[in-house]
Chains A and B, each alone.
Chain A
């Protein structure tokens, strides 16, 4: 028999890939159950004020329109804020659709038309006669900065720590340093635009029972939200989300289509599909606009002496959405004097929402641009400055890193990119009529683990099934979990089924923060180990005494058999074990809980080093990112193929953030003006050139049983500053406002 080849570390192609590319995979809006009704959302056309009157009669008169729900006729609902809170709710009072006549932001859902077809519902939604009383509003962060205040503290603070306390004396140290840099940064609003639109199909099963196909990053999160608000029993609400066409944080919180679909289904006692259209994707959470100010200084040897980083982010009037923006610089650079500040400004907008590397990609742009400028001023190579200030411990918390191979990222990335060919003098490198610039930056993202449960079932055919409520938001969760389970029992991937995306299955938290592999993967590993133990204990009792005198440590599991490691002739098959178990499948589950006591002695983070080449047409300003190399240290890489896709996706989004993507906001009107994919510019193929990913070996025995750190966000973090630093090297211009429009270089 061939020795078992570990599945962990293999570039296994997505197991559901064929279903997706052939259109067989069904998403939340693809379940046309019998008698399905269609909902279309009516959105507020004013930014702030009250609805004075809401006449729906013209719509209701259309044959085929069943109901128009508004704040005036909605069913009575849960009263307390807590009942509307979800796993990702920031401190405050969660938004309640159709709550009352108050308008809190432009585009607020204020009604739902339910009709026999989508087209009819959409048309009926244009026949509303609504009178508003408008009030003055503010949506402009920059003009309201003077109102910045400290954020409220809540549950969310656990995963999003506030800035560390000041150290030393920043002002004194900064003023005494020979090399000082200060800069101001502005990032505009960005909106979530995953390819799949938000949709919920609520199947009305009768007797207070619902089956809900929802676009979500957490089936149990949606289940809990629905049950709490609508007063349903947990067990009567089943949320299924087998395929998710990208989410990136947008579906961490239940969005209003879920609420409205369930409300309509319960009231009408029918199944209801509510799909948001593309412009409605701009009517809930977004990456918040942020103003940042940095002041960094170094001595003449390039030792960083003082760090001050202030960020002012936008939030809504009803919740304090926060991000970790300013905590990163001191995790990377051990200055003796620091001052980190984070504040919020309330505006008349919807609460911001996590978007890939929330806070990290914002803060690191400011940090790594300022470091680059400090290197330039100190006449030190930017890579050398980072190596000079390299730290093995997280000085912001005085804890060692569980592992940190960032130095290798720097060295391997620089080697692959050819960093040694960089001329530090801005405007010194050319290719034809183009200026060429090289830039680099560091990336960092936290490596967390949350509790999760998994169930394993070994059946009479010797095959393993693993159950978890977790979603797969397109990252490759299904494939990776299958690989982890396969390794635990020494089975080929084909003999393992990972069943997921269903709230009836064992608990998994929301899928985000790059913690899913560490969280659910650890549970899968734990239940796999428990299954080994159980199988062995059954095998030991089997007739024939194959394993007499042997312990679990003496045996191996490979190819559907258990055998004595040193004597392969002594073995039994999984089928034989199940037969010995009265032909009953072996079923067990395991909760995996992070060992907090051990973990809190360490800081845990994935790191990256990013190197970018840009070409700038000097006369016309046109910028192209012609090459980029990202070297990543993120612990154990379970599947280098899906992991590479994560990093590439992050790098492309980094190009988008630096050069393309922006929500255009008209603060006079208090609304977003480019609510479509034609004018909301994300990169096209012609924008993307050579991209390269290196995974640096990193062994971590602390972070979790698997040694994984997650790769969902680290790919984006370092890209924007590497690009802006390359533009500086090319042109001598430092543009601190993202995205950079090419005309800013004219």
Chain B
């Protein structure tokens, strides 16, 4: 870890100004990923601008439009256990609680969760080629051990996956990300926030330089009656997803009115395929329909030598999770699917 200056921002305006004062600066919120990256000497900011005490954005409140606004600086733990989130957006609560550990969730913030870097082994080893860490150096994961890597939306330069669970829930719920930056504020639909690697895998998302996430807005419908989050991983807690699925369903009896399905652990961003959701609209809510949707979602998936299993696993996980969404009571904690 290099030497750096530390500044505490009092407000978003103050943070933007401090960040603008030149050099290579990073914002600090929960620090659960950034501090690791600094300790591993993978990120070397000259200065850190601490956002933890800025005015505002520390609350969760209902919007006039009937949705919910999650302040960027609220912790993942406080979000997951917030009564309104638990009641109206239990899918988000489940997704958050499937991630990391209690200790990390107590520190990690909602804004920071969106900005996690990949956990690709090769990204974390400064002594091997990695296009995401050092553009143009090559990808070690493609010829290497790629069990945890992506099967969808990969490129020749990167097959890393985005690690968040929370974001899989946010993708399914059609959240909107509010940001403020040097040139003003704007809102980014969740589907457009993270990006595929293409030939610039060093860029994880569409945030512009200096921009700060201030909040995440959830629309009114939280799919709180029929929802499920399923995470499949190498141990029952504190491991990143090999495949995860967030499902929200609106049902008319046993007919699907609206479906949301997002996948984690399979791509450089949470993976959602509208075509599959449109396909499900009007169909009977059963394993056969979900299986057909799964085929659509996994269309174009390409496995690598150590992760080809993810294609079949993802299809099965989609069906299982959608079945669990029919009876949310069937969800057990962690990775122990029970239906």
Partners in one complex: yes
CA distance A433 to B320 in the complex (A): 11
CA distance A686 to B242 in the complex (A): 17
Residue of B nearest to A666 (CB): B144
Residues of A within 8 A of B143 (CB): 668
Structural contact, B320 and A622, CB atoms closer than 8 A: no
Kindly state the interface size class of chain A when it binds its partner: 35 or more
From A432, A673, A686, contact of B144 by CB (8 A): A673
| Binding site secondary structure of chain A | loop
CA distance A432 to B337 in the complex (A): 11
Structural contact, B320 and A619, CB atoms closer than 8 A: yes
A243-294 contacts to B, CB under 8 A, are none
Q: Mark B114-144, 1 if CB is under 8 A from A, else 0.
A: 0000010110110110000000000010011
Is B252 among interface residues, defined by CB-CB distance under 8 A? no
Residue of B nearest to A674 (CB): B121
Is A620 among interface residues, defined by CB-CB distance under 8 A? yes
Closest CB in chain A relative to B209 CB, distance in Å: 25
Structural contact, B235 and A666, CB atoms closer than 8 A: no
The 16 sampled A-B contact pairs (Cβ below 8 Å) are A45-B127, A126-B2, A433-B338, A619-B320, A620-B317, A660-B234, A660-B235, A665-B145, A666-B140, A666-B145, A669-B128, A673-B144, A681-B234, A685-B237, A687-B236, A746-B313
Is B309 among interface residues, defined by CB-CB distance under 8 A? yes
Closest CB in chain A relative to B41 CB, distance in Å: 5
Residues of A within 8 A of B313 (CB): 620-621, 743, 746
Interface size on B, residues (CB 8 A): 38
Closest CB in chain B relative to A687 CB, distance in Å: 5
Residues of B within 8 A of A622 (CB): 232, 335-337
A705-746 contacts to B, CB under 8 A, are 741-743, 746
- Tell me whether A684 and B236 are in contact in the complex, defined as CB-CB below 8 angstroms, given that A45-B127, A432-B338, A669-B128 are known contacts: yes
B80-125 contacts to A, CB under 8 A, are 119, 121-122, 124-125
Residues of A within 8 A of B310 (CB): 743
In the complex, given contacts A433-B339, A742-B234, what are 4 additional A-B residue pairs having Cβ atoms less than 8 angstroms apart?
A123-B1, A619-B320, A683-B235, A685-B237
Structural contact, B337 and A746, CB atoms closer than 8 A: no
From A123, A126, A673, contact of B122 by CB (8 A): A673
Closest CB in chain B relative to A184 CB, distance in Å: 20
CA distance A140 to B55 in the complex (A): 56
Is B312 among interface residues, defined by CB-CB distance under 8 A? yes
Structural contact, A746 and B309, CB atoms closer than 8 A: yes
Residues of B within 8 A of A679 (CB): 119, 121
From A45, A678, A686, contact of B236 by CB (8 A): A686
CA distance A673 to B147 in the complex (A): 12
From B41, B235, B236, B242, contact of A743 by CB (8 A): B242
Chain A residues near B (Cβ < 8 Å): 45, 119, 122-123, 126, 432-433, 617, 619-622, 624, 660, 664-666, 668-669, 671, 673-674, 676, 678-679, 681, 683-687, 741-743, 746
Nearest 8 A/B pairs, CB to CB: A686-B236, A45-B127, A673-B121, A743-B309, A686-B237, A684-B237, A126-B41, A666-B144
Closest CB in chain A relative to B201 CB, distance in Å: 18
Closest CB in chain B relative to A109 CB, distance in Å: 15
Residues of B within 8 A of A433 (CB): 338-339
From B2, B145, B235, contact of A673 by CB (8 A): B145
CA distance A684 to B235 in the complex (A): 7
Residues of B within 8 A of A678 (CB): 119, 238
Structural contact, A746 and B312, CB atoms closer than 8 A: yes
B1-60 contacts to A, CB under 8 A, are 1-3, 41
Is B316 among interface residues, defined by CB-CB distance under 8 A? yes
CA distance A664 to B234 in the complex (A): 13
Structural contact, B1 and A122, CB atoms closer than 8 A: yes
Is B334 among interface residues, defined by CB-CB distance under 8 A? yes
CA distance A741 to B242 in the complex (A): 11
Residues of B within 8 A of A620 (CB): 232, 313, 316-317, 320, 337
Residue of A nearest to B100 (CB): A678
Structural contact, B235 and A681, CB atoms closer than 8 A: yes
Residues of A within 8 A of B236 (CB): 624, 684, 686-687
CA distance A741 to B148 in the complex (A): 12
Closest CB in chain B relative to A36 CB, distance in Å: 20
Residue of B nearest to A684 (CB): B237
Residue of B nearest to A45 (CB): B127
Structural contact, B239 and A681, CB atoms closer than 8 A: yes
Residues of A within 8 A of B144 (CB): 666, 668-669, 673
Structural contact, B234 and A741, CB atoms closer than 8 A: yes
Is B333 among interface residues, defined by CB-CB distance under 8 A? yes
Residues of A within 8 A of B41 (CB): 126
Closest CB in chain A relative to B70 CB, distance in Å: 26
- Tell me whether A687 and B140 are in contact in the complex, defined as CB-CB below 8 angstroms, given that A620-B316, A666-B145 are known contacts: no
From B121, B334, B339, contact of A686 by CB (8 A): B334
From B124, B232, B334, contact of A742 by CB (8 A): B232
Structural contact, B238 and A684, CB atoms closer than 8 A: yes
Residues of A within 8 A of B336 (CB): 622, 624
CA distance A40 to B124 in the complex (A): 20
CA distance A742 to B333 in the complex (A): 18
From B3, B145, B235, B337, contact of A664 by CB (8 A): B145
From A123, A621, A741, contact of B2 by CB (8 A): A123
CA distance A350 to B301 in the complex (A): 39
CA distance A685 to B102 in the complex (A): 13
Residues of B within 8 A of A687 (CB): 235-237
Residues of B within 8 A of A621 (CB): 313
CA distance A660 to B334 in the complex (A): 16
- Tell me whether A123 and B3 are in contact in the complex, defined as CB-CB below 8 angstroms, given that A620-B316, A620-B320, A679-B119 are known contacts: yes
Residues of A within 8 A of B317 (CB): 620
CA distance A563 to B257 in the complex (A): 90
Residues of A within 8 A of B235 (CB): 660, 681, 683-684, 686-687
Closest CB in chain A relative to B4 CB, distance in Å: 10
CA distance A669 to B144 in the complex (A): 8
CA distance A674 to B141 in the complex (A): 13
Closest CB in chain B relative to A616 CB, distance in Å: 12
Closest CB in chain A relative to B2 CB, distance in Å: 6
